[in-house]
Amino acid sequence: MSEPARVVTLPRSASPSPDLAISTLGPARIASPLAELLDNSRTSEHYVDEDDKVLLDDTLAGITARGVPASELPGMEPCGPRRRIFFDPAKTRAAVVTCGGLCPGLNDVIAGLVRTLTYHYRVRRVIGIRNGYQGFVPSYGHDVVDLTPESVRDIATDGGTVLGTSRGHQDPDEIVDCLERLHVNVLFVVGGDGSMRGAMRIAATVAERGLMIAVVGIPKTIDNDIPYIDQSFGFQTAFSHASDAIRAARVEATSTANGIGLVKLMGRHSGFIASYAALARSGADVVLIPEVPFGLEGEGGLLAHLRRRVQERGHAVVVVAEGAGQELLGHDPDADASGNARLGDIGPYLRRRIGDHFADAGIETSIRYIDPSYAIRSVPANPYDSVYCVRLSQAAVHAAMSGRTEMVVGRYRRRFVHVPMAAAVSRRNQVDPHGDLWMAVLESTGQPVAFA
């Protein structure tokens, strides 16, 4: 789903250029087995031009502000098959591991990796690592599984991951020891920013030992908060199902006198799911996201706004991202196994404060609270995300077989690109409070710019 075009202020100067250079294991000297597919008379040749790049800036103002020749403009390597590859497919073993929380599309990615490795590159063996990074460590006792096109044929119809997953860090030396024992040449890591930081440590250990093992990531985050990537896989499925929760909340709210629907959605640090779901279902009266602080008290606060909305319309629906309003909860967060701060639960807190406010105002209300988070994480990918996952997996295989390493694949400006892992975890992609997406949300809900 594309965001609506709006008039924006042109930048006065360009932002600093990130380091977008991609690491390789060495020169690619082996002719690609895809030559038969790409060079015959029935299809057009579409190898990637090694000298091409997808520009970081997509506006004349941004490009002009760089003040450099076109050849020096910052950009990313395009994804796709290379004429020459680094690994000999007949002698290559690949491993796939899924890490972190669930997200729609994980099984699609696994199946896509296996099919591309087997059908097109004719890699002899693909191994699935059980239960995330734990699967590499002998003390956990997890087995490995051989992945074939037959074994993954129908897995995309189910949610979750057939390989299992886990959170938390593991010793990179033990992981690389396992890769050596299994004679793995290519490791595909499907996970979020914590998993990609772990993959960077694995790649560093591989380099320290002088091994020729490619480490390539397919970034996974249901919150859509990875920089230099337009959308992460599973995001469209997630906000689609989240919009159904908003519809249910609106039905509940309109079916009772002075009814209020309260929906808590995913979004620890970024409010993309809440914003897109609210736009998909125009029943929300208020959307609260981590990027925009809000106050509760006073005539300009959230509570008074809800009271007025209920008095005017007879009901109201509030959508809140899980990371919104953390400053109101007054707790000292600890960290989970992945190193992420544990959030306070904003949903029940808002439910209590809204109920108290209406009671103090002498207004009888009924609050319907919906938290569909785990139900959404576990669903299969919708057709759009399924296609996206397959194409990401194909791009990851092309990159790995060409010897690229310590990088992830994604789509930027509608082109599939290579992104260094360091850049992919350098910051979070967030909703711009001054951007057109948030403006669209404000127009849709009719809420004020700020609750203060």
Reported as a pLDDT band with limits 50, 70 and 90, residue 38 is low
Same domain, 228 and 81: yes
323: in domain: yes
Q: What is the rounded CA–CA span in Å between residue 79 and residue 94?
A: 19
Average pLDDT in the 99-105 region? 95
**What is the pLDDT of the chain when averaged over all its residues?**
91
pLDDT at residue 389 in the model: 97
Closest CA to 282 of 256, 249, 259, 306: 249
Is 177 considered catalytic here? Answer: no
Average pLDDT in the 79-98 region? 96
In contact, 282 and 244? CB cutoff 8 Å: no
Q: What is the rounded CA–CA span in Å between residue 400 and residue 379?
A: 29
Same domain, 326 and 243: yes
Q: Is the pLDDT of residue 22 over 80?
A: yes
Same domain, 360 and 345: yes
Q: Is the pLDDT of residue 14 over 60?
A: no
Average pLDDT in the 406-430 region? 95
Q: What is the rounded CA–CA span in Å between residue 285 and residue 316?
A: 6
CA of residue 248 relative to chain centroid, distance:
26
pTM of the model: 0.91
Q: Is the pLDDT of residue 121 over 70?
A: yes
β-bridge mates for residue 407, sequence order: 216, 420
Average pLDDT in the 413-428 region? 94
pLDDT at residue 46 in the model: 62
Same domain, 246 and 217: no
CA of residue 212 relative to chain centroid, distance:
28
pLDDT at residue 11 in the model: 41
Q: What is the pLDDT of residues 343-365, one digit of tens each?
A: 999 999 999 999 999 999 999 99
32: in domain: yes
In contact, 286 and 249? CB cutoff 8 Å: no
pLDDT at residue 330 in the model: 81
Average pLDDT in the 253-267 region? 96
Same domain, 61 and 154: yes
2: in domain: no
360: in domain: yes
Reported as a pLDDT band with limits 50, 70 and 90, residue 339 is low
* % of the chain with per-residue pLDDT over 70: 92
Closest CA to 82 of 22, 139, 140, 129: 22
Same domain, 179 and 30: yes
Q: Is the pLDDT of residue 6 over 60?
A: no
pLDDT at residue 361 in the model: 96
In contact, 212 and 25? CB cutoff 8 Å: yes
Average pLDDT in the 43-68 region? 82
Same domain, 106 and 136: yes
pLDDT at residue 42 in the model: 54
11: in domain: no
The CB density around residue 124, as the number of other CB atoms within 10 Å, is 13
Q: Which helix (H) or strand (E) holds 404?
A: strand 404-405
More confident: 274 or 17: 274
Same domain, 364 and 385: no
Q: What domain range is 349 assigned to?
A: 236-378+433-445
Q: Is the pLDDT of residue 136 over 80?
A: yes
Degrees, nearest 5: CA angle 150-156-161: 100
Q: What are the DSSP E strand ranges found in 266-314?
A: 286-288
1: in domain: no
Same domain, 353 and 413: no
Same domain, 201 and 259: no
Give the long-range contacts of residues 442-447, CB within 8 A, separation 24 or more: 444/278, 444/279, 444/282, 444/284, 445/278, 445/284, 445/285, 445/286, 445/287, 446/285, 447/285, 447/286, 447/287, 447/305
In contact, 272 and 431? CB cutoff 8 Å: yes
pLDDT at residue 331 in the model: 66
Q: Which of 57, 108, 193, 223 is catalytic?
A: 223
Q: How many domains does the chain have?
A: 2
12: in domain: no
pLDDT at residue 39 in the model: 54
Q: What is the rounded CA–CA span in Å between residue 340 and residue 361?
A: 39
More confident: 7 or 152: 152
Same domain, 437 and 417: no
Q: What is the pLDDT of residues 197-227, one digit of tens each?
A: 999 999 999 999 999 999 999 999 999 999 9
The contacts of residue 274 (CB under 8 Å, 6+ apart) are 242, 265, 267, 287, 288, 289, 319, 320, 321, 324
pLDDT at residue 13 in the model: 45
CATH assignment of the domain containing 293 = 3.40.50.460
Same domain, 314 and 437: yes
pLDDT at residue 387 in the model: 97
pLDDT at residue 4 in the model: 39
* DSSP line for 127-168: EEESSGGGGG-GGG---EEE--TTTTTTGGGSSS-TT----S
DSSP for residue 300:
T
451: in domain: no
CATH assignment of the domain containing 139 = 3.40.50.450
286 token code pair: 């208020």
